[in-house]
Structure 1
Amino acid sequence: MQKILISQQELNDGSGHFDEYMHFVKHRLFVDLDPRTALFSAVSLISKDGLKIELGSFRDAAAQNVENWLSEYYGERAHIDFALPRIAYRLDGAIYLLRMPVPRMDLLPLTVAVEDLTDNAAASISSQRMSALTNDFNEFYDALYEISELLPTTVIHLRDAAQRILQGPMFFGLARWDTLMFVEKAMKELLPKGITVKGSDGHDVRGAVHEAWLAAGLPALPMGLLDDVMCSHTVRYSETTMPVDTTLRAHHSSVRLGALIAKNLVTLDGSQNELRIKLEKVRPDPLLSVARIEKALAVVSGAWSRVELYR
């Protein structure tokens, strides 16, 4: 493609040869580009072209123009869902998904916190139940920010488990397996290379895997929570419906375990003048990267307050 040059003013205004230049930028992006991270790659290229563009907390006009252009070009594929992994939760007998936005919010409408909850359903929730929901929501919110430190290939099992629970009883067996996989892979992330657990023992998070965990000098995990998530590999193929209570308990226990496990990881230091994450780290899951940055900054500022849900 022919090289296109534009002035700083054209970039700032989105005028002149801006559209042609953006096609030139897009042409140079990775062949296997993820549209969700196209903005980061595009800004890097534009900077190398010698143009000024700021994509920090307060992006400048040039960055906004580039983001708008990419949003129109890629459509919904360029959208990053700024919410932590959903948590399956039973409310008045029905299963819903709890949604925790990133950045963290101090006040959140109940119909936003609980996906697909109608105004009528929200109005019927008792004050006592609302209080219990708010407590659980805050516990999971805090836990998910810790979990954001784990690898995306680990966290995907937590996401999948919640979606399978929402799909109904026929998928509870798969949800139980994803729940176990999430905890197993999270624990193994912290094991030194010299310590491995293979074969069927590799799925025994309360036995062989936990023994390897302790041998690595890591703090013991609550056995009750490990008992909750343990299941046989045969649940993936079982035609017998799993009980909803044990399925949800395993799911919620995995969230609590995930947070305890992740607290042993080396995290970002928000006290630095600048926080930098390499694009290779962002690309697999942009949302988790944003959550890690916010968590690092919040720890330093002490601005981690309780979230209040309201109708």
Structure 2
Amino acid sequence: MKVFVYVASMVLATALMLGGTILIGVQSPPGSIGLQMMAIFALAVMIYGPLVLGSLTSYWNVTKTEGSRSYYRRWLWAVTGLQILGTVAIIVFAVTLHSPWWLPCLFIAGGAALTVFAHFVGRFMLRNEEANPRQPSWAPVTRHEVRKKVAAVCITYFAVFAITAAALAVVRASFDDPDFGVAEQLLGALGFAWMGASAACVIASLSLNRRLKDAVDRDLGTIRKISKVVLQNKEIVLDHGEEVAAAKYAAVGPTVLAFMLAYFILLELGLGTIQVLRFTSGQADGWTIGYCAVLVVTLVIVVPISAVRIRRARDYARAHEGLLPLADA
């Protein structure tokens, strides 16, 4: 059920983002790129802010301890603050371009409705999962399991590439656009294939993330505490139960982090390939160059940090592997 809701929420968010972006473009005169980006920012926080809150409340028990409540309150205030900024941005966009009054009302009401909906759905899913616990709740990751997940990601990549390439070939044959040749067709298929594989990495990591959650009994405060110890080498005193949880976290964490790093790299490759397509079609501008620069800088920052965290988790797992039999005894 949770996988279905996750996929459905991502599809819904993508559809809303696409529809909202088209609406912004329709309501904007040529040459208003800055105001369009402001409106797209408002759209993004109205859609993805509730999605983040819903994910937190469905995945973690955010009321179990004071640490969990405090951390969730920070996320709630952060999302609320961004939504307030988004409200100001969409109002400025509408007033400046003399857009119809219903446009900012639609964005603001939609963001509020999504926030309430995400809250209730997230809490419902957590209660449902706690009422029907999975057994066994935790197990180490095997090489066979990792190979199966990697194979699924690879199959997804080639399947999306083949399907998208065939679809774009039909489009190219139907419209006979001289600016859309075989190279553009292949680049488009390649971009979607990278992004499809990135989504497969997220789905592949869901079952592993459940083990991390079960290791700390779904307590958001506890996993934040032990992640500081395992991933950041923080000197924090842990009791025996937390030490066992940290050992379990470290045993599964490197594989989860590796899949999430793969997700990030593949997504960046997909977005970058789409930008290359803009260059080859002659549609590139200053925004395209700036966007590509942001992608490169983000990769340069994120990849080394993730690699260091994976190494630290593996070192911690080796040093504390003797605690795992005690946890499962």
- Normalised to the residue count of structure 2, the TM-score between the two structures is 0.24
In terms of fraction of residues, the more strand-rich structure is 1
- Normalised to the residue count of structure 1, the TM-score between the two structures is 0.25
